[in-house]
Chains A and B, each alone.
Chain A
Amino acid sequence: MTKEQFTTKILALEKSMYHTAIAILQNDDDCADAMQNAVMTAYKNLPGLRKPEFFNTWLTRILINECYKLIRSRKNTVEYEERFEPSTDTDGDALESSELFGEIMQLSENYRVPIVLHYIEGYSVKETAAMLGTTQAAVKQRLLRARKILKERFGERL
């Protein structure tokens, strides 16, 4: 993969990376740091990626690693005020999605990360389980519970 191909892929996956990072870090400044580190780490390790078709999962795994590395390196906890606040400068349909994303961000990390990876970014249960280091049954269970919580909040709108 050339540098140009790598750059194109990163820009195409930027939004997906952000959703994954914000689900873990809940803070845009930290997302910026983690995504920057993930891009550089991925590029440095690109020769180790044998099958390009695994690029998305591979990159997401690197990003998740970088997010948790950042959490470990920052002993201080994130203040609630700094946490993710959904933007309101969106229109119609997007406003509802933004509201839903805001609700997802209020879930505990156990629920919000698998729900972002599976429902929002479209990774399979198997891929999500592998990326998070848990079983498929556990992912399904978490998704079920998360959906239940969200359904209680959104009712039939979900």
Chain B
Amino acid sequence: MNSTATLSSGNRTASSGDALDLVLRIGLLPILMAIVIVGTSLMSPYFLGWMNIVNILRMASFLAIIACGQALVIIAGGFDLSVGAVVALASVVTAKAMAAAASAIGGPDIVAIVIGIGAGLGSGLAVGLFNGICVSRLKVSGFVVTLGTMSATAGIGLLLTNGIPVYGMPKAFVQAIGRSQFLGFPLAIYIALAVILVMVFVQRRTLFGRYVYAIGGNLDAAVVSGVSIRPHLVGTYVVSGGLAALVGILLTALVGSGQASLGGDAMMLQSIAAAVIGGVSLRGGIGRVEIVAVAALFLTILGNALNLLHIDSRIQPIFLGLIMVLAVALDEFSRRRTSRV
């Protein structure tokens, strides 16, 4: 830092702030992670087994993809409660479209698969677009708008299926996307890595990423500097909806049927928890997807560890709630301790 003692009007030198920041924000996640991994591997021999590790990574992939979108929305100063419902909707839409296409066309499976995936992604993007337009037009917190779309989207998913799983997708879909492996790891892990890498690039190196930070960090400054707000706000919700739909499709391929019960509130809560634990500030403007992805991995490991240790799955939400509140409280605490600008 270059601020010299004579220039600073207070004693808030940058270095001490950064150090505290490091301990408080970066510190929480590795510490918790180390405790959980070491503790569980001592208590359960299955924990570090190959099957269990692959399983953890697969489940973490789903959460990480959704959390990346959620993080982007929160960085821009919003909230997306509809992601869980979008997972369900995309699953149902994908399965219905694919099954319908397969029976109507009858030709090669690939056509039906592409149509199904296209429809599923399209449904997620549409919900995201709707969220984004409502939020940017109404200039209200995304929270309530997406609370509304969450209910409506879940309703549409249930309405389409009457709550019954949708079968009839080509076997190739399930085999190619749901069950295929590469170098011993399922496809979902590679897709998640690709999504994370692309998102890191978007955040660091593109105009869109830069403007998302600016809009969340100081909306007025962004406006005065000539940043167009609406398209970028809409963009964050569209990305979030699209990524949630991607997870819906991957889960559909994994379970082999379209289900309106996939995703849901649990997934939505976990995505917010991952973003918050991963250092995304609810005040906007701060957060990096790679750390959010690590937080998603942590939450998955935690859930897995609790299962292996035979801790009642009903108690697990309590841990999630406490950790989430703790993470935000620490963030607030560090913000108060460091400079007030």
- Bound together: no
